[in-house]
Amino acid sequence: MWRKENIMIVFSCVAFNILLVSVSSQSDQVHQDPPEIYSQPGTTATISCRHELQDYNRILWYRQPGGGGRMTLLGLMNVDQQQLEDGVTAKMSGGAMKGQTCLFTTEELQLGGTARYFCAAYRCANYEAYFGQGTKLTVLEPNRTAIPPTVRVLKPSPNEGGQTRTLVCVATDFYPDHVSVSWTVNGNKRLSGVATDAAATRLDDFYRITSRLTVYVKEWQNRGKDFACVVDFFNGTETVNRIDSIRGVKGRLLFERKYLRIAQNAKLAYCAFIVKSCVYGAFVVFLLWKLQKSRKTEK
């Protein structure tokens, strides 16, 4: 249980620093491991945190529900003394000074206890708090093991118009939802034009996620281009990837331009023919009129 003076210290620091969670969550000053964990119901999990910040001597631990939402403070390591929030039965060990490792061991996990855990190094007097990248912890359902995804890349819809085309990557039939999706073009990672679902969607007993890559028509209509969707999946021991790819189609752009040019030339020729025909017709009418007038004059 916390002492009153510690509560005041933490409140004054956290009130200022909690607003910095989003901007500090990727700080390279704080090293949190592992990034992902699978656990069985009734077991515990241990997460480590270490920072490289001079004079920072406290590490806070937070828990965020698996579906997102507000982070809950679990406790802190003050130099080498653990101080837990009321009702929290987790354990901490190690130290919170620069270069030291602080270990956080969860309480016994229950089904539905999936969450993200974050550590944060801080010191008072309005110093910025630095957060680790977080640890995603999933409590597996009974008698279930990790199953990697099946990945498929779909070519653009034939009804898609404009100057761009959209490729769709669909990853299905995986469990649990520890995946990340990226795209490569001829082996080079592509960042622009990529839109991926914010989170995987559960369908029955498995998960599904989609990602879209938008490219220009000229790039898609190039058989030398290889578009690959890479899905990284954590299997409980290591991260493995599943890949599917599709090649660009035979370019029709030059043919289409040539066809349009021929069509435009034909249209112009036809218009010229019509104009000439009209002029010729007018000339014939004029001659007939002159001929008739001449005959009337002779009479």
Question: Is residue 145 situated within a structural domain?
Answer: no
Are 168 and 231 part of one and the same domain? yes
Of 139, 162, 197, which residue constitutes the final position of a domain? 139
**Statement to judge: residues 176 and 241 lie in one domain:** yes
Q: Is the pLDDT of residue 225 over 80?
A: yes
- Per-residue pLDDT at 274: 74
What is the structure's pLDDT at 262? Answer: 65
Tell me which of 139, 172, 190 is where a domain ends. Answer: 139
Pair (106, 79) in one structural domain: yes
pLDDT at position 280 is 65
Give the residue-averaged pLDDT of 174-186: 97
What does pLDDT average to over the chain? 85
Q: What angle do CA 144, 146, 150 make, to 5 degrees?
A: 120
Report the C-alpha gap between 238 and 287 in whole angstroms.
94
> Are residues 98 and 32 located together in one domain of the fold?
yes
Cβ pair 57, 78 in contact under 8 A: yes
Using CA atoms, how far apart are residues 95 and 266, in angstroms rounded to an integer?
Answer: 83
Distance CA 49, CA 59 (A): 8
Q: What is the pLDDT of residue 125?
A: 65
Residue 15 pLDDT > 50 = no
| Spatial distance between the Cα atoms of 193 and 207, rounded to a whole number of angstroms | 24
16 Rama sector, left if φ>0, alpha if ψ -120 to 50, beta otherwise: alpha
Closest CA to 96 of 109, 82, 110: 82
Residue 7: predicted pLDDT: 40
In angstroms, the CA 251 to CA 147 distance is 39
Q: What is the largest CA-CA distance in the chain?
A: 133
3-class DSSP state of 187: coil
- Regarding whether 237 and 157 lie in a shared domain, the answer is yes
| Number of domains observed in the structure of the chain | 3
Report how far residue 102's alpha carbon sits from residue 82's, in angstroms, rounded to the nearest whole number. Answer: 10
Return phi, psi of residue 72, to 5°.
Answer: -110, 130
Q: How confident is the model at residue 124 (pLDDT cuts 50, 70, 90)?
A: confident
Percent of the chain with pLDDT over 70: 76
Model pLDDT, residue 137 = 97
Question: Are 204 and 290 in a shared domain?
Answer: no
What span, in angstroms and rounded, lies between the C-alpha atoms of 126 and 186?
Answer: 48
Give the residue, 255 or 235, on which the prediction is more confident: 235
Please tell me which residue, 265 or 146, carries the higher pLDDT value: 146
Q: How far apart, in whole angstroms, are the C-alpha atoms of residue 299 and residue 269? A: 45
Q: Which domain holds residue 238?
A: 150-247
Which one of 139, 160, 180 terminates a domain?
A: 139
Lowest mean pLDDT among 119-133, 153-167, 209-223, 270-284: 270-284
Lookup result for tokens 């679902």: 197
Looking at the fold, whether 163 and 103 belong to one and the same domain comes out as no
Alpha-carbon distances, residue 267 vs 86, 236, 276 (angstroms)? 84, 66, 14
Tokens for 31, please give them. Answer: 């090293």
Q: Give pLDDT tens digits for 88-103.
A: 999 999 999 999 999 9
Please say if the pLDDT value at position 41 is more than 80: yes
Using the predicted structure, report yes or no on whether residue 83 has a pLDDT greater than 80. yes
CATH number for the domain that contains residue 227: 2.60.40.10
Looking at residue 273, its pLDDT comes to: 63
User: Which SS3 state, helix, strand or coil, does residue 109 take?
Assistant: coil
Question: Average pLDDT for residues 54-71, to the nearest whole number?
Answer: 91
pLDDT score recorded for residue 9: 43
288 membership: H or E segment, kind and range: helix 253-298
The verdict on residue 107 lying in a domain is yes
- Residue 104 and residue 18: Cα distance in Å, rounded? 20
| Residue 255 resides in a domain | no
At 201-224, the pLDDT tens digits run 999 999 999 999 999 999 999 999
Q: What is the mean pLDDT of residues 107-126?
A: 90
Q: Tens digits of per-residue pLDDT, 274-296?
A: 767 666 666 666 666 566 666 66
The token pair at 220 is 């898609």
User: How many angstroms separate the CA atoms of 200 and 24, rounded?
Assistant: 25
- The confidence score (pLDDT) of residue 128 equals 86
108 & 156 share domain = no
**pTM for the model:** 0.72
In a domain, 144, yes or no: no
Output the CA torsion sign for 7, 8, 13, 14.
positive
